[in-house]
Structure 1
Amino acid sequence: MTTNNRHSVSVAAVVLDADQRVLVIQRRDTGAWQLPGGVLELDESIERGVIREVHEETGLQVQPIRLTGVYKNMNLGVVALVFLARPGEGDPHPTDEATQVAWWTAEQVRKGMAEAFAVRILDALPDSNDVAIRHHDGVNLLH
């Protein structure tokens, strides 16, 4: 098997505050608004990866609760595991990876994010026990 035949695995968290707003970041590299998350390291558990990525990008500690969706970018071969998470210690703030950090409503998510990334949040709301499995091209869902 060559490297081109392998997938990259990323993790992200839908972190909700008391008002059911979700924590989002504006990525420093692309300017896009997305969930905090990133590539899972080879030597870490999935849960530790979620905790590390959210902290690196927002300064907030979180506790993953449950898997809400699995999303594959068919163009890049990236598989993203998205978790619902509880906020913990820390105050969200811009970091080396995020120019802005904000709490958005579901309506803001629908209007301010590409479909392929907004659906990761919307699939976690309202609190459902279903795990979504979706495919996209980096911008739009593929049906």
Structure 2
Amino acid sequence: MRTDYFNDPEAPEANSLKVAVSAFVQDADGRILMIHRTDNDKYSIPGGGMEVGETVADAVVREVAEETGIQVRPVGIVGIFSDPHHVIAYGDGEVRQEFSICFAAEPIGGTPSTSSESKAVRWVSPEEISELDVHPSIRERIQRGLRLPEEPYFT
């Protein structure tokens, strides 16, 4: 279970920081790879925590494959998101400050499939995003991804 707080004065104080990655993936038709998360019931681009012994590029490839079944190749950086006003509270008492490197990636294989972290995997047109329950921090990554190739964003 997780709860995202964004610019919320009632948010708990962060007590941890972990490197995370996410991927803005578009197919040849311009559709965006999205998951319906199991931990917060929101739609998101795929991503997760970096593990010891891997590079950030390895982490994004692994996370996308684990959550979606799609193999990707990182091709750029959308941005580095580290807003201290975005914290994620977990059921075990951890409250993590956001620190996520969002990659632009291209699909190179695989078949969409769900995992323990994703109850649905969909290719979504940019116009459909507004119809989905997407956290504001993820909407920002999508909007920035759609504006590539601008300079990478960072906070």
TM range (shorter): 0.7 to 0.9
| Matched AA of 2:110 | G
Structure 1 unaligned runs (5+)? Answer: 135-143
For the residue of structure 2 that corresponds to 1:88, the secondary structure is strand
What fraction of aligned residue pairs are identical, expressed as a percent? 32
Could you say which residue in structure 2 is the equivalent of 1:127? Answer: 148
Could you say which residue in structure 2 is the equivalent of 1:21? Answer: 31
Q: Which runs of 4+ in 1 moved over 6 A?
A: none
Q: Provide the aligned C-alpha RMSD in A.
A: 1.7
Is the Cα–Cα contact under 8 Å of residues 106 and 122 in structure 1 kept in the other structure?
A: no
| Distance (Å, rounded) in 2 between the aligned partners of 1:26 and 1:73 | 23
Structure 2 unaligned runs (5+)? Answer: 1-14, 88-95
Larger relative contact order (CA 8 Å, sep ≥ 6): 2
TM-score (normalised: structure 1): 0.84
Q: Which moved more, 1:14-23 or 1:111-120?
A: 111-120
| Matched AA of 2:53 | D
| Distance (Å, rounded) in 2 between the aligned partners of 1:19 and 1:43 | 35
| Distance (Å, rounded) in 2 between the aligned partners of 1:90 and 1:41 | 23
Once the two structures are superposed, the pairs formed by residues 72-87 of structure 1 within 5 Å of their partners are: 72-74=82-84, 75=87, 76-87=96-107
Number of aligned residue pairs? 131
TM-score (normalised: structure 2): 0.78
